[in-house]
Amino acid sequence: MSTTKKYWRSLEHLNEEPEFMAKAHNEFTEHVPVDEFLDKTSLDDTATSRRDFLKFLGFTTAAAALASCETPVMRSIPYVNKPEEITPGVANYYASTFADGNDYAAILVKAREGRPIMIEGNKNSGVTMGGVNARVNSSVLSLYDSKRIQKPMKGGAASTWTEVDAEIMQKLDQLASSGGQVRLLSNSILSPSTNELIREFGAKFGGAPAAAEGEDAAAPTGDSNFKHVTYDAISNAGIINANEADFGKAVIPSYAFDKAKVIVSLGADFLGTWLSDIEYSVQYAKNRKPDGPWMSKHYQFESTMSLAGSNADVRGVVKPSEQGIVAAMLYNAVASKTGNPTVQTGSIGNDDNNLKEKISKAAEGLLANKGQSLVVAGSNDTHVQTLVNAINNALGNIGTTVDLDTPLYLKRSNDNAVAELLEEMKSGQVDAVMIYGGDPAYSMPKDWNFAGAMAKVKTKISFATKLDDTAKACDYVCPDSHFLESWNDANPKAGAYSTAQPVISNLYDTRQAQESMLKWMGKMPDFHKYMQQTWEQYGYQMVKEQVPTFTEYWNGAIHDGVSQIPVSTKGEYAFNGDVNRAAKAVNAIKGGEWELELYVKTSMGDGSQASNPWLQELPDPVSKVVWDNYITMNPKDMEGTYETRTAQETPADMATVTVGEDSVTLPVVAIPGQKRGTIGIALGYGKATVDEKVVGANVFPMVAYNGVSKTLQYARYNVSVAAAGQKYPIASTQTHHTMMGRKIVNETNLETFKSVDAKDPKIGWNQDIRIKDSYHQERSTQELNLWDDFGIEKGHRWGMSIDLNTCTGCSACVTACHSENNVPVVGKDEVRRTRTMSWLRIDRYFSSDADITGPRHGHGASGRDYEKMEDPSEYPDVAFQPVMCQHCNHAPCETVCPVAATTHSEEGMNQMAYNRCVGTRYCANNCPFKVRRFNWFNYSGYHKFKGFNPAQDELGRMVLNPDVTVRSRGVMEKCSLCVQRIQAGKLEAKKQGTPVKDGSIQTACSSACPTNAISFGDLNDKDSMARSRAKSDRSYALLEEIGVQPNIYYMTKVRNRTIAEDAQPVHHGHGHEEETESENA
Amino acid sequence: MNNIHARSLKAALLILPAFLLSFLLANPASAQYEEGKALFTGNCASCHKPDKKVVGPALMGSREKWEKRVGKEALYSWVKNSQGYIEETGDPYAVALLAEYNGSVMSANAISNEEIDLIFAYIDNYTPPPPPPGKDEVSTNAGNDGPDNTWLWLILIFVVLFIIGNVLLGVRKALNRINREKEGKEPLPESSVIESILEYLSANKRITALLVILVLGWGASVGWDALLGVGVYEGYAPEQPIKFSHKIHAGQNGINCVYCHHSAEKGKHSGIPSVNVCMNCHTGIQEGAQYGKTEIAKIHDAAGYDAEAGKYRLDEDGNRIQKPIEWVRIHNLPDFAYFNHSQHVIVGKQECQTCHGEVEEYDYPMKQHAPLTMGWCINCHRETNIDMTNGYYQDMKPDFLEKYSDMEDESFKVEHIGGLECAKCHY
């Protein structure tokens, strides 16, 4: 049986507000001002008379006729010396590495004629395993950012390398001889060669040799006059500190989400932004399939709805101040059964979400899976992490799912060292500071007064790529090159190495930071050479026996991009943590009426790519809002004070959040699932400007430094929230389409899945939709055809199967599609007019078990009674569903096109010929899935889109895929199923003279998906993965009842719950039979 | 007199090679000679000539030299893999030879000993082709091969006829007047030609109507054709920065198309050869038959090659001083049409000439042979059979047979695999 959940796309929809419902039936929710445009007065007002109009017409016709007479002369300029590996028209792939201090991914860069145009995952990587996230695959656009610093700068003015180098070298040499203090403040550097270089640099300019190694490289070094301090905007120092205290190893361990049968996450968004999120997504998805031998059970306790939280089987909400108490309660529940001492716990103030029960259930699950479970926490509070360590230790997870032997080297920020550095700077002890990576002036807490500290330093050198706040405060800016222009290597976790190679020459007069350092050290500024030396010195020594020459080893390493060295150390880790002290510390935290969580957004990360328009226009997975950050609030909390936005034309109410002396005024957005009494604001905004306007507001200054835990704290426990009385237009992508009360996201629970037949006509959880034909015979929609069938079982039939169980909503597919298909960026204003252009969108549905409009069938208990027990709209389940053109075999769009611009292919695709399209938009009207996009403007030319549409920028244009047409105004477009890739794949097969092998063709979305939720293939190929998935029990088609027979299939979402668990909050433990009845009602 | 002389010379020139040819044919070794020639053109001709130094040395007599010096086997291994030979034996002569030719290494050849023998048999019996026609010849040919003069003649005839017609009309008028004067009638009022034509037309309404219809019909037809031709550049032959002749390269020298347009087999573009491809031969060949040194000097200029010194010009940083050649693009397919050369050349097994015409006959400038319209593409897709021996199509054959069971034979055309669909070319 499927559940009775009713999905709704906004609160107005749920409440069925008449205004909304009236609009929901229209294609365009906003009023199209045709009358205004065509009425008599406005025509009378125009300066153009009929005669003028005819004159213009005549002139343009004549001009057009004249223009067409002449052959346009085009030049074809071949290479003078063609590089051997480049063939015009054929893409090259280079293995490389993305590492910006915040994210890591082993990638493949697709380059056409020497221009990088697309980033995909490197499947050979042992860490990211071919996955990418939206921030990684969008980074190719950041390369072509014309706002990058294009020249070295001195004192805020453009300078030359010769001048800058000479002055810096003179100053550094002078400091070295006089014993001056030099500091390097960088974000987490993954590159072993760079770390080696920094050590050498320190030795040269700091006097004493700095002897830090491996994971300790992040720690300040020795008594040297040179110190390297690591600072990340998003710090995870709490984990490192706790591990040092508890296990004697100051590292972030490797987590194995794929080995954990029960996962409990305390506010860690491990699918979206926490630590190595790509790696965890891949691991997580492995055992989230109900058809596998086992399916993991995921509990999430958090305050703001995160990506991980929206994927959880059981989600409990908790205030940030009480997160430690949850950890303590969980510890007690586990400790009492494992013979460990229990601790004192505080109490949960307002448990409106069965939190206690959920915790005890989670503990039961953990105890039943000792050594095969995992508890993680997102908090940066050392004490919370200690409690988590204690739980994992009690469960015997250390060494199984928590691997301290293979530490993760990402995000090794040392908050305490940064605080000390700032003190040092403020006291005037630091003579020179170099800032490499990150933008501390933007991202440091206000309390730290970075600007004040900088003012006391005599020489300030920045390696910034953009003229950010930090670079502006520096004397010298020596712009670093983009990672696609640089040599580099990375060591994301012990034993895993990867390399980065330049795919394009420097676009500007920049120099990669390492080469600047080499230059100042008086060495050859050639980091390629330097890197080779370190690889020869370390890596090659290990494989000398097998590989005869270093060149061969080096070429192999660069070609593959990734290499793995077995980690041999096997440490014994005894838990020495002080749980009582930790418990006392977390119990002592005082909450307030309002609590603020500063969270990291999936699309924006730490804000280093804030000027990337692809990321700005990528809808937040949960709120679906673009181009802004905002205050997330539970709709129940908004009642009476703030309007929940009803539609696009209604601006959101703004509120002022005050923390201590700081305040920020932002729009309020209703997010069901937000813990009541808490709000969330995303970090990473308030940095980039578009059209001279700053996007969002920067809330990094509100981050607090916790002196007890010696870490940065991303939650504020007592804030005041007050209506600001202002309105603000906010743009979100999900109010365009209505799919009401139908089988859209089909969902069931694991117990039902295992025990009930999918197609059981009464209680099946994936029943065929049957409707009555004109003879009143009930028949399946497959049999009811208005049209003749295409010969779809012959030849190829391209299609997809999308597994809603493993789709985490991460949105990597959306940006991949933008990148592959030249999808324009339209800007906030157009999104507000419901004119977003994404070919692939991810629909997010909140669920509600209650039917709040009236009593249910056959039961005494009315929906309103249930509402009293637990208001479902407060803390709903979430489901994500990627929707692109469904490539219907009976496509409704094809039959209404008056010019046959959209037609069906022999291979099952619905194709769109732009040049044939005259723009009637009938097809969009007739599309039941609302996936067709109309080009209202010439986005690549019209001035409105200048500044953010990459196609308008001389350089940004270089990112366009030359195999895909850039559409012009007045034509319809939509997902083509990456027909250019299909054609290329078929051509390759034909050249080889072999059939197309399953998996050899991947669409942009399926290749980007870290969890393989999207599987593309030939549905007629007996061996294809897509076919076997499309034929499975879980498979169904979207809106089956309308009989359009899509070639895209979805797989039923199965949450790992029992029937009782699923039903419990609804019916006080009633059986499931009743539910089925109401389902059919 | 001159003409007769030239004609007899031409005849003699034609006969001479025929004589030579018959002589060679009579020779029992001539079949081998032809085979050797084919092998030579295929494998060696891009760098060697039998009687002239080009990129590599002249080969005439080298067999004898080598056999005497180090023996036959050494020669074989030298030809097959010169680098390997040097590494193996360190033969000082070979090393010196390599140095003499600026270290341009001969690529390894996959040929057998027998083939090497055949090649040298050709080289040693090589007879130079007849010299290119002299200046005399060119001037006499000018009348035949020069620009088309038909229009000039037509205009001339028209002018002459117009004058004659006018004169005759004047004569007729004068005679008429004299006649009337004689008969004592009043002279007719003077009327211009136009007035008289109008008078005639108004008197003969049917002819007028017919004429109007004819003129309108002609106008419509011409207009329609003109509109159809908008954007169609069949026969487009723009001036190019270098007077490159396909006739000399592909025709006379028989260089394979894909030697220069190598990406035609790999990707969507056939590729305009980069200058370094030109330099493969033109390091050695510095003078052409048609334009002497001027055009080849332009290649050297682009490549930064100093032909006198036999070296590349370098700037301070040691980079070559070079600049690209800006060719004028002839075949301009619109951006919204995707065309892939390798699809047609490798999978479709189409000859280049199918779309580009007899390129080996085109002298400078190169021209567009086909209209490159969608109708032209589609037409070919309707008529061309697919190669069912390809493993890809083999695999799909059962499906085809079932799908097109009404077809009489198994000659599946491109259209049967969806070759007429929009999204095969437009995406």
Give tens-digit pLDDT for A322-371: 999 999 999 999 988 888 888 888 888 888 888 888 899 899 999 999 88
Is the model's pLDDT at A308 over the cut of 50?
yes
Q: What is the nearest CA distance from B301 to chain A, expressed in angstroms?
A: 11
| Percent of chain A residues topping a pLDDT of 90 | 39
The answer to whether residue B259 neighbours chain A at the CB level (below 8 Å) is no
Query: Which of A348-357, A395-404, A714-723, B272-281 is the least confident region?
Result: A348-357
Dihedral sign from CA coordinates of B342, B347, B352, B353:
negative
User: Where are the strands (E) in A428-470, listed by range?
Assistant: 432-436, 459-462
d(CA A108, CA A94): 5
Tokens of B279: 């330099």
Phi, psi for B229 (deg, rounded to 5): -85, -5
First to last CA, chain B: 67
CA distance B211 to chain A (A): 28
Taken in order A142, A146, A152, A155, the sign of the CA dihedral is: negative
pLDDT of residue A987: 93
Q: Are A425 and A453 in contact (CB under 8 A)?
A: yes
Q: Residue A460 corresponds to which tokens in the numbers above?
A: 């300030």
- Burial degree of A576 (CB within 10 A; 0-12, 13-18, 19+): exposed
B313 close contact with A: CB closer than 8 A: no
pLDDT band with cut points at 50, 70 and 90 for residue A648: low
pLDDT exceeds cutoff 50 at A1070: no
State which H helix or E strand residue B259 sits in.
Answer: helix B257-260
Cβ <8 Å between A995 and B395: yes
B238 touches chain A (CB under 8 A): yes
Query: pLDDT value at position A1060?
Result: 80
Contact list in B for residue A915 (CB cut-off 8 A) is 336, 426
Res A213: pLDDT: 42
Q: Which residues of A touch B326 (CB under 8 A)?
A: 75-77
Distances (CA, A) of A586 to A331, A379, B84: 13, 11, 76
CA distances from B287 to A44, A262, A1026, B107 (A): 74, 80, 62, 25
Tell if the CB–CB gap between A795 and B322 is shorter than 8 Å.
Answer: no
Other beta carbons within 10 angstroms of residue B291's beta carbon come to: 15
Q: Is the pLDDT of residue A293 over 80?
A: yes
Strands A182-186 and A226-230: parallel
**Cβ separation of A965 and B427 shorter than 8 Å?**
yes
For the stretch A405-435, pLDDT in tens is 889 998 888 888 899 899 989 898 888 999 9
Residue of A nearest to B338 (CA): A963
Q: Give the separation between CA A742 and CA A1079, rounded to whole angstroms.
A: 11
pLDDT tens sequence across B185-221: 776 666 777 887 888 888 888 999 999 999 999 999 9
Residue of B nearest to A991 (CA): B347
Report the alpha-carbon angle A1012-A255-A194, nearest 5.
95
Q: End-to-end alpha-carbon separation of chain A, Å? A: 14
pLDDT of residue A920 exceeding 60 = yes
In three-state secondary structure terms, A668 is strand
Instruction: Please check whether residue B293 is in contact with residue B271, taking contact to mean a CB–CB distance below 8 angstroms.
Output: no
A505 touches chain B (CB under 8 A): no
Dihedral class, residue A322 (left if φ above 0, else alpha if ψ from -120 to 50, else beta): alpha
Q: Which residues of A touch B396 (CB under 8 A)?
A: 795, 995
Kindly list the residues from chain A whose CB atom is less than 8 angstroms away from the CB atom of residue B346.
Answer: 990-991
Query: Which chain B residues contact residue A951 at CB under 8 A?
Result: none
Size of interface A-B (CB pairs under 8 A): 154
Q: Please list the alpha-helical segments (H only) found in A521-564.
A: 527-534, 540-542, 550-560
Report DSSP state, residue A535.
Answer: I
Q: How far is A113 from chain B (nearest CA, A)?
A: 12
Closest partner CB to A993 (pick from B325, B391, B396): B391
Tell whether A971 is within 8 A of chain B (Cβ): no
Rounded Cα distance between B186 and B176, Å, is: 11
Residues written for chain A: 1081
Range with top average pLDDT, A608-617, A856-865, B50-59: A608-617
Distance from CA of A80 to the nearest CA of B (A): 5
Residues of B in contact with A891 (CB under 8 A): none
Name the residue among A87, A90, A905 with its Cβ closest to that of B421.
Answer: A905
Q: Which region, left, alpha or beta, applies to residue A628 given φ > 0 means left and ψ of -120 to 50 means alpha?
A: beta
Task: Choose between A935 and A207: higher pLDDT.
Answer: A935
**What is the number of other CB atoms lying within 10 angstroms of the CB of residue B349?**
12
Q: Do A979 and B392 make contact, defined as CB atoms within 8 angstroms?
A: no
Q: How far apart are CA A1048 and CA A908, in angstroms?
A: 11
Does A339 reach chain B within 8 Å, measured CB to CB?
A: no
Contact (Cβ atoms closer than 8 angstroms) between residue A266 and residue A326: yes
Put simply, the answer to whether A905 touches B276 (Cβ < 8 Å) is no
CA distance A602 to A626: 12
Please list the ranges in chain B whose pLDDT falls under 50.
1-4, 6, 18-26, 28, 132-146
pLDDT tens across A1053-1062, in order? 999 988 887 7
Contact A913 B266 (CB under 8 A): no
Of chain A residues 979-1008, which have a CB less than 8 A from chain B?
979-980, 983, 986-987, 989-996
* pLDDT for res B77: 84
Residue B392's CB: how many other CB atoms inside 10 A? 22
Buried b (16+ CB within 10 A) or exposed e, A609-630: bbbbbbbbbbbbbbbbbbbbbb
H-run or E-run covering A892: helix A892-896
A77 in contact with chain B, both atoms CB, cutoff 8 A: yes
For residues A452 and A52, the model is more confident at A452
Task: Extract the tokens encoding B14.
Answer: 């034609």
Partner-chain residue, chosen from B276, B323, B423, that has the shortest CB–CB distance to A82:
B276
Query: B93 touching A, CB under 8 A?
Result: no
What is the tens place of the pLDDT at every residue in A491-524?
999 889 999 999 999 999 999 999 999 999 888 8
Nearest chain A residue to B415, by CA:
A906
For residue A544, pLDDT over 60 is answered with yes
Q: Parallel, antiparallel, or unpaired: how do β-strands A594-599 and A910-912 relate?
A: unpaired
pLDDT given for residue A924 in this prediction: 93
According to DSSP, the β-strands at A562-564 and A594-599 are unpaired
The C-alpha of A435 sits at a distance from chain B's nearest C-alpha, in angstroms, of 33
d(CA B57, CA A463): 56
How far CA A966 is from CA of A490, A842, A939, in Å, comes to: 36, 23, 9
- Structure tokens given for A653: 């109410």
Neighbours of A11 (CB within 10 A): 18
* pLDDT on residue A318: 92
Question: Which residues from chain B sit within 8 angstroms of residue A911, using beta carbons?
Answer: 421-423, 427
Q: Count how many Cα atoms sit within 13 Å of the Cα of residue A566 in the half-sphere of its side chain.
A: 4
pLDDT at site A106: 93
Cβ neighbour number for residue A61 with a 10 Å cutoff? 10
| B305 sits in which H/E element | strand B305-306
B398 touches chain A (CB under 8 A): no
Residue A794: list chain B partners with CB under 8 A: 399-400, 402-403
Closest chain A residue by Cα to residue B391: A993
| Long-range contacts of B269-274, Cβ-Cβ distance < 8 Å, separation of 24 or more | B269/A88, B269/A89, B269/B341, B270/B341, B271/A78, B271/A87, B271/A88, B271/A89, B272/A76, B272/A78, B272/B327, B273/A78, B274/A78, B274/A79, B274/A80, B274/A81, B274/A82
Q: Which pTM value belongs to this model?
A: 0.81
Q: Is there a contact between B263 and A90 if contact means CB atoms under 8 Å apart?
A: yes
Q: Given this model, what pLDDT does residue A117 score?
A: 93
